[in-house]
Structure 1
Amino acid sequence: MGEAKRRRERMTPIQTEAENLTHKLADEGLLIKAGFVGYMAACFPTEQPSDMQRRELEQAFMAGALHLFSSIMVFLDGGEVPTARDLRRMGLIDTELREYGQILEGRAAMAAKTEGSA
């Protein structure tokens, strides 16, 4: 059994739905835009940002996405099959982003505690 299949078997129904939605958004060319919408919802759960804030956050978000995608396109070795170096580099990106994801989760938990204690 492949690793992807084992991972899917361990997923909760909401994780399965999120994965299906990710595939659909990618197929429709809306993956990054949807990511930005989710990012804004996480950053501004109760209030609306100003137009200037939204534009600046969108510019930063899209610039980050562009940087990552452009970098991946440059560093991938040629050929149809991923090389060991490709996989190592992608793994390092995964680690870097997961570490930052943990920081964001910590900040969100701290913000939730702060809001609840007022």
Structure 2
Amino acid sequence: MIEAGWIGLRIAAIPLDAPAVQLDEMRNAFFAGAQHLFYSIMTILEEGSDATDNDLKRMDLIDRELRAFINEYTVRNVPPEGNA
């Protein structure tokens, strides 16, 4: 799943002629971010098999933060569609 996300990012955002060192460093950064998020989620969840209200609140905060990031990223990096 993480590798598929990396491949999608590579196709969408990295020039085809990017040097190998750039690809390696960007992949490292992508996976480091994924590892950090996964570890953070596993650390903040309360013990037990059922999600608690606190678990849901924490997941909602992560969701909001990532949605805000992708919205800002889109505004800065994705050209608008259509002709104006």
TM-score (norm 2): 0.88
1:53 aligns with 2:22: yes
Structure 2 residues not aligned, in runs of 5+: none
Residue 89 of structure 1 is matched in structure 2 by 58
Alignment of 1:1-118 (within 5 A): 31-44=1-14, 47-109=16-78, 112=79
Residue 70 of structure 1 aligns to a residue whose secondary structure is helix
Moved over 4 A (4+): none
C-alpha separation in 2, matches of 1:48 and 1:68: 30
Structure 1 residues not aligned, in runs of 5+: 1-30, 114-118
Instruction: Answer 1 or 2: which has greater helix percent.
Output: 1
Which structure would you say has the larger Rg?
Answer: 1
What is the aligned length? 80
C-alpha separation in 2, matches of 1:84 and 1:48: 47
Aligned CA-pair RMSD: 1.3
- Matched residues, percent identical? 40
